[in-house]
Amino acid sequence: MWKELRPAVVSFLVLSVITGLLYPGLVTGLAQALFPGQASGSLIFKKGRPVGSEWIGQSFAKPGYFWGRPSATGPMPYNGLASSGSNLGPTNPALIDAVKARVQALRATDPGNTRPVPVDLVTASASGLDPQISPAAADYQIARVARVRGLKTDQVQALVTQSIEGRQFGVLGEARVNVLKLNLALDELTHAP
Amino acid sequence: MTLNGLFQIVLLLGVLFLLVKPLGGYMARIYEGNLPSFMRWLSPLEHLFYRMCGVNPGQEMRWTSYSLGILWFSLLGVLTVYALQRLQGFLPLNPQGLAAVTPDSSFDTALSFVTNTNWQGYAGESTLSYLTQMFALAVQNFFSAATGMAVVVALIRGFARHSVETIGNFWVDMTRSTLYILLPLSLVLALVLVSQGVVQNFSPYPVIQTVETTSYDNPSLDAAGNPVKDAAGNPVTVKTTTQEQTLPMGPVASQEAIKELGTNGGGFFNANSAHPYENPTPLTNFLEMLAILLIPAALCITFGTMVGDIRQGWTLLATMTLVFVIMLAVAEYAETSGNPAFTSLGVNQQVSSLQSGGNMEGKETRFGIVNSALFATLTTTTSCGAVNAMHDSFTPLGGLVPLANIQLGEVIFGGVGSGLYGMLIYAVIAVFIAGLMIGRTPEYLGKKIEAFDIKMASLTILIPPLLILVGTAAAVMMEAGKSGVANPGAHGFSEILYAFSSAAGNNGSAFAGLSANTPFYNLALGLVMFFGRFWLILPVLALAGSLAGKKRIPVGAGTLPTHTPLFVLLLMGTVLLVGALTFVPSLGLGPIVEHLTMVGAH
C-alpha cells in the first residue's frame, strides 16, 4: 500500500511547499524589493496619512465632488471588504428602476443640464470599487462641480483634461479619469464644499 | 466596433500566435525528457525529488496505473483543501482572524479547486486566510493544471506511439509540467502584474479615512447575526455614516499569475479579475487574457510536434480560432448595442472617443465593452472562468455566448490540457462520422478507430450534457434550487443553467446573482464538478491506452487527410452540431426568450 501511496504523498507535500510557500514567498520578496508601493496597494498619502488607494474607488455623493461609478457593494457603497457587481439581469425591473433613479439624482443636482447621461455614470461597476469614470462622465459633471464650488467652468475643465488618462500605450483599454485623484486635485484648488 | 477595438483583438491573437510555436516546441521537449540547456540546472533537483518519492522516472505506466496516480493525487488535494479551510482559524498567516469556513462551502471549494473549476461560492477577501489562499488554493491551481497537462500528454503519446502498452509516467509528467512550465511562467507574470499595481504582501488590511463621509442604510442584525425584518417582511435598516474604508490585501499577484496560466480562474477576491487589485490596468488585463490562452493554444503545437506532423497541430488551432472569432463577434455586437431600456431613460450608450458606451452594467471603466466581451468569450471557451465583468448583467445574447461556449465542451482552446484532449476526442468523432459517410474504417493519425475507442469518445461527449441538463432540471423543480435565483423570469432559469454548465465544464464563471453558497448548491455543484472532471479523464486515458497498443497503418489512397481546410470545417461542424443538438432547447428557454422579451418591449 505504502509503495503505491508514497509517490502521491511525498510529491504532494514537496510540491505543495514549493508552489504554496516558496513561490509566493519569493514573489513577495522580489515585489517588495522592486515595487514596494504597488505591492502594498498603491496608497495615496496626504500630509503623511493614507487617504485612499489609486486603484480602489471611494463613494462621492456631494454635488461639489465628481461622482464615480454607482457601486453595488453592501451594506455601503465602495465597501473594500465586499467587492461585487449588482448581478442584475438586463431585463430585471430592479435594474431599470435603479438606472432611472440615478438619472433623476444627477438631473436634480444639475437642472440646467439636459444632455443624455453617459452610461457608465448610471450603471454599477463589476467590482463595486471601480476607481475611474469615462471622460464623457467627467465632462458631464463639470458644470455642476464648477457652480457648487464657485469656480469658473474653464478651471474645472482644465483640471479634468489634465486628469484624462488615454488608452495604455495609445492602444489598450479605454480612456478614463481617476475620480479620487481628480477630487483631491479639486480640494487643492478650493476648500472642500 | 471601432477600429481601435478591432486592433486590440487582433493584437492579442497576433501576440498569441507568435508565442505558440516556441512554447509548444519547448513543452514537447520537456515531455520527451530533452531539457533545453537553460533549464538543465534544475534536472538534479528533479531527480532528487523522484528518489524522495520512490519514483523511477524511466519506468512507464499503463493507463490504469496512470489513472490511479491521478486519483490518489487528487484525493489528497480534496482532503487538504477541505482541512485547511476548516482549520484556518488556528493556523498562521491569518491577520484578519478569519474563522473556519462552513463544512458545505469547504467541500464545494475543495472539489472546485482540485477539478480545475474554481467555482466560488464564497467571497475571498472576507472568508479565506492568506494561508488558505496560497497553501490550499494556489497549490491546487498548479496541481490541477499540471494534471490536465499530464492527461493530454498521455493521450498524445497514445497517438504518437504504436504497439506499446504504456503511456508515460504520471509523476514525471505532472512534476515537469509544474517545475519547467507553470512555475517559471507564473514567476515572470506575477512580477509584471505587481509592477502595474497588483498587490503582493502579507499585511493586515489597512483602514483609511475617506475623503467624503458615506451615509448608508445598515441592515439590523439580531443576536444570532440574522437580519431583522419588520411586520411586512422587509429588512429593518438603521441610517449609518462612516468615513472609513478597509482595503483588502494579500499575496495576490502570485496567485493571479497561476490562476490565468493554469486556466483555473478562482479569484483572490470576490470580484475576481474585475477587482482593481487583481487587474488594475489595461496592460494587466491584456497579459491576463494572453496567459489564459497561452498554454492551451501552445499545446496544439506540442501535439503536432510529438506526433511528428506539426500541421496536425496547426489544424486544431485553426479550428479553435475560427469558432472563437464567431463567438467573439456575437458577444461584442450584443454588448456594444447596449440595453434598449436605458436609451428611453435619457442614457447615452453611443460609442465615442470619450466613452466606450454599450451595456456598462457590471463592467469596469478601464476595460470598457471591447475588453469585457473579449475576456468573457475567452474565459469560457477555455475552462478558465476568471471574469473581468459580471456575466449575469450581460445582454441576453451577450450572456448566451459564455454559456454556449461552456456547453460546447470548452474545446475552443479549452482548459490547460483538458481543452486539447476534448478537441482530440471531437477529432476522433469527426473521422468516425466521415468514415460512416464514405463507408471506410475511420482512422486518425494512422490509428484505426474501433468500437472501444468510439465508446470512450462518446462517454466524454455525453457525460457533461447529462450532468448539466439533469442537474438544471432537478434544481428548477426543487424549492432549494429555485430559492437561489436573483433575477426574475427567463433570466433566473439562465442563472441555474449557467451554474450547472459551469460546474460540469469545470469552468467556474457564474451568473453570479445566483446564491450558490447554500448546502443544496454546494453539494450538487460539488458533485457535478467531480464527475465532470474525473468521469472524462478516465475514458480519455482508456482511449490513450487503447491507441498506444494499436499498430500504425500507413497512409493510403483512401486515408482522410486531417491537416486540410476541409478537415477544419468537418471538425468545426462536429463541435457546433453536437453542441447545438444538445443544448439549443435549453438556451431557447433562457437567453433566447429573454432576448425576444427585451427587443419586443422596445
CA–CA separation, A115 vs A110, rounded Å?
A: 11
Mutate to test the interface with B, among A27, A104, A160, A161 (most CBs of B within 10 A): A27
Greatest pairwise CA separation for chain A in angstroms: 82
* pLDDT score of B461 more than 90: yes
Q: Are residues B251 and B134 in contact, defined by beta-carbon separation less than 8 angstroms?
A: yes
- B9: closest chain A residue by CA: A172
Q: What is the mean pLDDT of residues B539-564?
A: 93
Q: What is the mean pLDDT of residues B70-78?
A: 96
Cβ neighbors of B109 (< 8 A, separation 6 or more) are B81, B85, B101, B120, B121, B122, B137
Residue found by looking up cell 470599487 in the block: A129
> B250 phi and psi, to 5 degrees?
135, 175
Q: Are residues B505 and B406 in contact, defined by beta-carbon separation less than 8 angstroms?
A: yes
Interface contact A105, partner B, CB < 8 A:
no
Q: Do A122 and B242 touch (CB under 8 A)?
A: no
**Sign of the torsion formed by the C-alpha atoms of B354, B356, B361 and B362:** negative
* pLDDT score of B237 more than 90: no
Number of alpha carbons in the 13 Å side-chain half-sphere of residue A81 = 16
Exposure string over B281-316, b if 16+ CB within 10 A, otherwise e: bbbbbbbbbbbbbbbbbbbbbbbbbbbebbebbbbb
Cβ neighbors of A103 (< 8 A, separation 6 or more) are A117, A122, B345, B346, B347
Q: What is the mean pLDDT of residues B316-340?
A: 97
CA–CA separation, B24 vs B313, rounded Å?
A: 10
CA–CA separation, B165 vs A59, rounded Å?
A: 64
Which strand (E) or helix (H) includes residue A122? none
Give B513-518's long-range contacts (Cβ < 8 A, gap of 24+). Answer: B513/A87, B513/A88, B513/A89, B513/B392, B513/B485, B513/B486, B513/B487, B514/B392, B514/B484, B514/B485, B514/B486, B515/B483, B515/B484, B515/B486, B516/B119, B516/B121, B516/B484, B517/B105, B517/B121, B517/B122, B518/B104, B518/B480, B518/B483, B518/B484
Residues of A in contact with B80 (CB under 8 A): 12, 16
The predicted pLDDT at position B600 comes to 86
Q: What is the mean pLDDT of residues B352-367?
A: 96
* pLDDT score of B520 more than 70: yes
Q: What is the mean pLDDT of residues B103-114?
A: 94
* CA B54 vs CA A4, A5, B31, B35: distances in Å: 9, 10, 20, 22
Q: Is B132 helix (H, G, I), strand (E, B) or coil?
A: helix
The pTM assigned to this predicted structure is 0.96
Environment class of B241 (CB within 10 Å of its CB; exposed 0-12, middle 13-18, buried 19+): exposed
Q: Are residues B530 and B113 in contact, defined by beta-carbon separation less than 8 angstroms?
A: no
- B196: closest chain A residue by CA: A38
Task: Categorise residue A191: left if φ over 0, alpha if ψ from -120 to 50, beta otherwise.
Answer: beta
Q: What is the mean pLDDT of residues A111-133?
A: 96
Interface contact A184, partner B, CB < 8 A:
yes
* pLDDT score of B223 more than 80: no
Q: What is the mean pLDDT of residues B221-244?
A: 84
B219 vs A39: which has the higher pLDDT: A39
* CA B184 vs CA B141, B181, B261, B299, B448: distances in Å: 14, 6, 11, 17, 39
Task: Give helix then strand counts, H and E, for chain A.
Answer: 7, 6
Beginning with the edge strand found earlier in the chain, give each strand of the sheet holding A164-165 in spatial order: A132-133, A176-178, A164-165
- Give pLDDT tens digits for A53-95: 999 999 999 999 999 999 999 899 999 999 999 999 999 999 9
Judged by average pLDDT, the poorest of B217-221, B441-445, B527-531 is B217-221
Cell numbers at B193, concatenated: 502584474
Mutate to test the interface with B, among A9, A30, A83 (most CBs of B within 10 A): A83
pLDDT, mean over chain A: 95
Instruction: Give the confidence band of B220 by pLDDT, cuts at 50, 70, 90.
Output: confident
Paired strand residues for B355 = B352
Cα of A104 to nearest chain B Cα, Å? 9
Cα of A146 to nearest chain B Cα, Å? 18
Q: Do A10 and B53 touch (CB under 8 A)?
A: yes
* pLDDT score of B398 more than 80: yes
* pLDDT score of B602 more than 90: no
Q: Are residues B367 and A174 in contact, defined by beta-carbon separation less than 8 angstroms?
A: yes
Residues above pLDDT 90, as percent of chain B: 91
Give the single-character DSSP code of A108: H
Paired strand residues for B444 = B447
Interface contact A110, partner B, CB < 8 A:
no
**Sign of the torsion formed by the C-alpha atoms of B284, A23, B172 and B454:** negative
Residues of B in contact with A136 (CB under 8 A): 348, 352, 354-355
Interface contact A47, partner B, CB < 8 A:
no
**Sign of the torsion formed by the C-alpha atoms of B36, B41, B42 and B43:** positive
Q: What is the mean pLDDT of residues B183-194?
A: 98
Q: What is the mean pLDDT of residues B138-150?
A: 97
Instruction: Give the confidence band of A193 by pLDDT, cuts at 50, 70, 90.
Output: low
Q: Is B157 helix (H, G, I), strand (E, B) or coil?
A: helix
pLDDT, mean over chain B: 95
Q: Is B519 helix (H, G, I), strand (E, B) or coil?
A: helix
Instruction: Choose among B329, B336, B464: nearest CA to B409.
Output: B464
The predicted pLDDT at position B226 comes to 78
User: Tell me, what amino acid is at B461?
Assistant: I
The predicted pLDDT at position B471 comes to 96
Instruction: Choose among A91, A96, A59: nearest CA to A76.
Output: A59
CA–CA separation, B178 vs B158, rounded Å?
A: 22
CA–CA separation, B310 vs B150, rounded Å?
A: 20
Cβ neighbors of B270 (< 8 A, separation 6 or more) are A82, A83, A84, B120, B122, B123, B124, B125, B126
Q: Do A99 and B347 touch (CB under 8 A)?
A: yes
Greatest pairwise CA separation for chain B in angstroms: 81
Q: Do B76 and A133 touch (CB under 8 A)?
A: no
Residue found by looking up cell 453539494 in the block: B523
The predicted pLDDT at position B425 comes to 96
CA–CA separation, B591 vs B35, rounded Å?
A: 49
Paired strand residues for A46 = A49
* CA A191 vs CA A60, A65, A160, B475: distances in Å: 16, 11, 17, 57
- Give pLDDT tens digits for B153-167: 999 999 999 999 999
Task: Categorise residue A137: left if φ over 0, alpha if ψ from -120 to 50, beta otherwise.
Answer: alpha
- B81: closest chain A residue by CA: A16
Instruction: Give the confidence band of B110 by pLDDT, cuts at 50, 70, 90.
Output: very high
Cα of B580 to nearest chain A Cα, Å? 24
* pLDDT score of B536 more than 80: yes
The predicted pLDDT at position A189 comes to 87
The predicted pLDDT at position B440 comes to 84
- Distance in angstroms between the alpha carbons of the first and the last residue of chain A: 74
